[in-house]
Amino acid sequence: MSDHESGSDEPGLGLDLPAQPLEKSAAASPYRVLARKYRPQSFAELIGQDAMVRTLGNAIASGRIAHAFLLTGVRGVGKTSTARLVAKALNCIGPDGRGGPTIDPCGVCEPCVAIAEGRHIDVTEMDAASHTGVDDVREIIEAVRYSAVSARFKIYIIDEVHMLSKNAFNALLKTLEEPPAHVKFLFATTEVNKVPVTVLSRCQRFDLRRIPADALAAHFARIAEIEQVEIEPEALAVIARAAEGSARDGLSLLDQAIAHGSGEVTAVAVREMLGLADRGRIRRLLSVLLSGDGAATLAELDEAQALGVEPATLLRGLLDQLHSASRTKAGAARDIMASEEERALNEQLASTLGWSALHRLWQMLLKGLSDVALAPDPNEAAAMVLLRIVHAADLPDPAALLTRLQSGGEGSAPASVSTRAPSPTAPPRMEAASPPAAAPAPAPEPATPSAPAGFAQLVDLLETRGKALRAVQLRNQVGLIRYAPGELALKPLQPLGAGFARELEADLRGVLGQPWQVVLGDGSAEPSLQQQDKMAEERDREAILREPTVAAVLSAYPNATLESVTRKDSNHA
């Protein structure tokens, strides 16, 4: 389940060598870590990649075997292990020596054993992280011309293929597109975005997924049973969560936990090992923050600094605690990595803090984390961030402040403290105070009953009668010179086309049932209806900003802005 192993003392082109045969006695062999000892030796042992195994099995059974495979995914999900299993599957000859390619290699024939031990002459592994140049690839290009010595296919496994240089990739392209029938390429990478698309297009790609935590926990439980280690189910769950979908990372943590617990692994010990146990300091700091006690907050910060805790680590811990409390408030499943004390605090915070308070605290801490990273003295920056939160704890939230202002309450929050703009929802009376929309120019002559009273009503009528595109042109691209029943003079503000006037006359005749004369001129004209709406909106905005309640809110929250204005007599904001 590894995509890259290092630290091997054995010679060879690749560093990712398979586990040695288990027949060697423990006394004669050095200790092998669990991540190497329990690497899968068959597709049945490869956990969490059922879709890929099924696709490969169908391809092998039908004989539709690609000449190049690209295996991608995060660390430790089984890319290199899968490549070796594919090499076994393609070269297995069965116990009787007469078998063909199979998704279930026997593991006992000479090709299977030799590939498992990393000594098969026709299966070459190359670590692209240390063999990046074109000369390394040229050796492969020259070797593919020769048939396999003893295997059915000559197979090249290139690990971390994205590390190859541009020239190396270019040298490989032609051979990769049209390799001899006896050659297969297997590429593994954690950063597929760095692989040129010209290479990607020549490979059959498999994305190996992160292994689910429950599958990892079950896998680790089986290994612990084989190793005769007593381990609590909750400890297995914590290790599986900490592995973040990587079997190799999880096995390394399990190895460490076994050593840490001297053969007996508990959830408490695992949390302590992972640094999850020292959350008491975070809980105490968050409690004094929410209480608004500045002296106690600084005392907690000074104590943490004396113990060598980084300020950024403290803020990240507070952010994590708030995130856990928010998940609890939203009804998410309990976090298995949290202790009972943390779960109790999450329940308390979820019940006592509203969503606005949680979000405001999150934003202030997140901003503070960037301040700590940029400040010359991170400790001083952390102290100022926490004092800012202590001071903000006494402030009403924007909704409460707005209610106080509307009811005639006195006082407002200091303008320099809030970092979050209030809700842009305007009080009900703002709408009534908005000035009416600018009226279009009055008709120079009385309108007949069959014609709209003004140009704006005429445009609305065309829109409601299925002439939406024509209405958009009249609203946005022309200015009104003169309007009368049966007569329309317009000034083009944008190019309209040679037949615009004739087409508009036809549309008006079809909608109103009477002939119309449309004239395009260059005289003095009103702004377009769109421009009139914008000017009316700006007047509305200025009127709203002069409202005493709004002015008080903006004084208390200088970073707040009026996002939009909606007029009751218009569909436009």
Report the CATH number that the domain containing residue 228 is assigned in CATH.
1.10.8.60
User: For residue 483, what are the β-bridge partners?
Assistant: 488
**Shared domain check, 563 and 538:** yes
Separate counts of helices (H) and strands (E) for the chain: 24, 10
Question: Are 133 and 220 in a shared domain?
Answer: no
Q: Is the pLDDT of residue 439 over 90?
A: no
**CATH number of the domain to which 316 belongs:** 1.20.272.10
Q: Are residues 230 and 172 in the same domain?
A: no
Q: Which of 10, 169, 186, 9 is nearest to 89 (CA)?
A: 186
Looking at the domain assignment, is residue 398 inside a domain? no
201 and 225, same structural domain? no
| Domain count within the chain | 4
Q: Are strands 183-189 and 68-72 parallel, antiparallel or unpaired?
A: parallel
Q: For 477-538, give the secondary structure using H, E and C.
A: CEEEEEEECCEEEEEECCCCCCCHHHHHHHHHHHHHCCCCEEEECCCCCCCCHHHHHHHHHH
- Structural domain includes residue 244: yes
Q: Give the C-alpha separation, 214 to 220, whole Å.
A: 10
pTM higher than 0.85: no
pLDDT digit string, tens, across residues 51-91: 888 888 888 888 888 999 999 988 888 898 899 999 999 99
132 and 158 together in one domain: yes
The verdict on 305 and 254 lying in the same domain is: no
Q: In the predicted model, is pLDDT for residue 430 greater than 50?
A: no
Structure tokens at 483: 């309007």
Cα separation, 24 vs 5, whole angstroms: 21
Round to whole Å and give the CA distance between 270 and 234: 9
Q: Above 70 in pLDDT, residue 397?
A: no
Q: In this structure, are 310 and 371 located in the same domain?
A: yes
- Same domain membership, residue 284 and residue 163: no
Domain annotation covers residue 49: yes
pLDDT over 70 percentage in the chain:
81
CA 511 – CA 506 distance, rounded (Å) = 9
Helices (H), 101-245: 110-116, 134-143, 166-177, 197-200, 213-226, 233-243
Q: Is residue 429 part of a domain?
A: no
Q: Give a yes or no: residue 372 inside a domain.
A: yes
Least confident of 185-194, 451-460, 548-557: 548-557
**Length in residues, the chain:** 573
pLDDT score of 164 = 92
Within 13 Å and on the Cβ side, how many CA atoms surround 382? 23
Do 217 and 202 belong to one domain?
no
- Name the DSSP letter for residue 45: G
* Distant-in-sequence, close-in-space partners of 159: CB < 8 Å, separation ≥ 6: 3, 4, 14, 15, 16, 79, 80, 83, 125, 126, 127, 128, 129, 188
Q: Where is the domain boundary, 188, 207, 226?
A: 207
Q: What is the mean pLDDT of residues 504-518?
A: 86
Q: Which of 353, 376, 392 is the last residue of a domain?
A: 392
Q: What pLDDT sits at residue 395?
A: 61
pLDDT confidence tier of residue 4, bands split at 50, 70 and 90: very low
Core vs surface per residue 35-61: b (16+ CB within 10 A) or e = bbbbbbbebeebbbbeebbeebeebbe
pLDDT band at 398 (very low <50, low <70, confident <90, very high): low
Tell me which residue of 83, 65, 70, 73 sits closest to 48, measured CA to CA.
73
Q: Which amino acid is at 419?
A: T
Residues 172 and 291 in one domain: no
Q: Evaluate whether residue 494 is within a structural domain.
A: yes
Domain residues for 58?
A: 34-207
Last-in-domain residue among 252, 273, 294: 273
Asked if 237 and 326 sit in the same domain, the reply is no
DSSP assignment, residue 163?
Answer: G
User: Does residue 550 lie within any of the structural domains?
Assistant: yes
Q: Is 561 helix (H, G, I), strand (E, B) or coil?
A: coil
Do 177 and 218 share a domain, yes or no? no
- Residue 161 to residue 191: CA distance in whole angstroms: 9
- Non-local (6+) Cβ contacts of 245 within 8 A are 48, 74, 77, 209, 210, 211, 212, 213, 216
- 532 burial (CB, 10 Å; 0-12 / 13-18 / 19+) is buried
Residue 25 lies in a domain: no
Question: Average of pLDDT values for 328-351?
Answer: 76
Task: Determine phi and psi for 484, rounding to 5 degrees.
Answer: -150, 155
